[in-house]
Each structure stands twice: as structure tokens, then as C-alpha cells.
Amino acid sequence: MKFIFENESFSFETLRTAGFANHGGADLGEVIMTANAIAEGDETAWLAQTAVRR
């Protein structure tokens, strides 16, 4: 299943993070905003963006 990313790992982790929205872990808008700031498959950007958003 694709969720924002074509990259299977990025898609899974983004979907998993979005799933925490119901439990107060993440706001869906923040998840989407963060994901949109990451280029497909760019692990350096993934790490940088997720560290900034914590």
C-alpha cells in the first residue's frame, strides 16, 4: 500500500506515524507536512525532518 511515498519503507513509517494521531502521538497535518518536506528515498532528509519535528 502506498501512503504519500512510493518507497515502501518510507510509506510504512509515515502510515505508522499517522496511526498514532488517535492516541495523541502525532497530528495528521504534521505528519503530512513533514512527509512533503522529504524527497522520495532521501534518508538524510528523512532523519533531518523527523529530528526537527520531535
Please give the tally of structural domains in the chain: 1
pTM as predicted: 0.81
Burial (CB < 10 A; 0-12, 13-18, 19+), residue 38, is buried
Q: What is the pLDDT of residues 19-36, one digit of tens each?
A: 988 888 888 999 999 999
Confidence label for 50 from pLDDT (cuts 50, 70 and 90): confident
Residue 42, pLDDT score: 96
DSSP per-residue codes, 1-54: --BSBSSHHHHHHHHHHHHGGGGTS--HHHHHHHHHTS-TT-HHHHHHHHHHT-
Containing structural domain, residue 26: 8-52
Mean pLDDT, range 36-45, rounded to an integer = 94
> Considering the domain boundaries, does residue 14 fall inside one?
yes
3 falls within a domain: no
pLDDT level of residue 2 (50, 70, 90 thresholds): confident
Please indicate, yes or no, if residue 2 is contained in any of the structural domains.
Answer: no
Q: Is residue 1 part of a domain?
A: no
Query: Angle formed by the axes of helices 28-36 and 8-19, to 10°?
Result: 160
